[in-house]
């Protein structure tokens, strides 16, 4: 079973920041939080991951709360091409990734 909870859908205006929340209240101390996205009929695309510190790369920022029970993925300037299903995943020591339902983000002009 997935260890994360995400809202089923969100809308965002083009050019604005998209903030996608994720709850992972049962996360263990050595489990990482990963974010992937999937555009229709394609394989998942890696976005970012982190353990406890906030992370930033060319695609997004990941904000993890101090207690690590939740996180937020931030797409700073959403474009129409960012419309996709975004998955927040807690990855354990056994290396596998189990997907939850994800959030369907729709970026609108």
Partner 1 sequence: GAVVSQHPSWVICKSGTSVKIECRSLDFQATTMFWYRQFPKQSLMLMATSNEGSKATYEQGVEKDKFLINHASLTLSTLTVTSAHPEDSSFYICSASAPGGGNTGELFFGEGSRLTVL
- x/- letters, 25..54, toward partner 1 (CB under 8 A): -----xxx-x-x-x--xxxxxx--x-x---
For residues 25 and 2, what is the distance between their CA atoms, to the nearest angstrom? Answer: 12
What are the angstrom distances between the C-alpha of 46 and each of 13, 34, 67?
23, 8, 24
Nearest to 37, CA basis, from 15, 70, 59, 54: 59
CB of residue 82 to partner 1, shortest distance in Å: 18
CB of residue 16 to partner 1, shortest distance in Å: 26
β partners of residue 34: 49, 89
Position 100 contacts partner 1 (CB under 8 A) = yes
- Piece of 18-26, 53-61, 70-78, 87-95 that binds partner 1 (CB under 8 A): 87-95
Position 101 contacts partner 1 (CB under 8 A) = yes
Evaluate whether 59 touches 47 at the Cβ level (below 8 Å).
yes
Position 87 contacts partner 1 (CB under 8 A) = yes
Evaluate whether 100 touches 87 at the Cβ level (below 8 Å).
yes
CB of residue 23 to partner 1, shortest distance in Å: 16
Q: What are the residues binding partner 1 (CB under 8 A)?
A: 2, 30-32, 34, 36, 38, 41-46, 49, 51, 87, 91-102
């Amino acid at each position: 079973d997935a260890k994360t909870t995400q809202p089923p859908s969100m809308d965002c205006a083009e050019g604005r920041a998209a903030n996608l929340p994720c709850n992972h209240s049962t996360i263990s101390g050595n489990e990482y939080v990963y974010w992937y996205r999937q555009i229709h009929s394609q394989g998942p695309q890696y976005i970012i991951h982190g353990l406890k510190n906030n992370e930033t790369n060319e695609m997004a920022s990941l904000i993890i709360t101090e207690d690590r029970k939740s996180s937020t993925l931030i797409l700073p300037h959403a474009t129409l091409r960012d419309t996709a299903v975004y998955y927040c995943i807690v990855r354990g020591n056994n290396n596998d990734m189990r997907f939850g339902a994800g959030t369907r983000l729709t970026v609108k002009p």
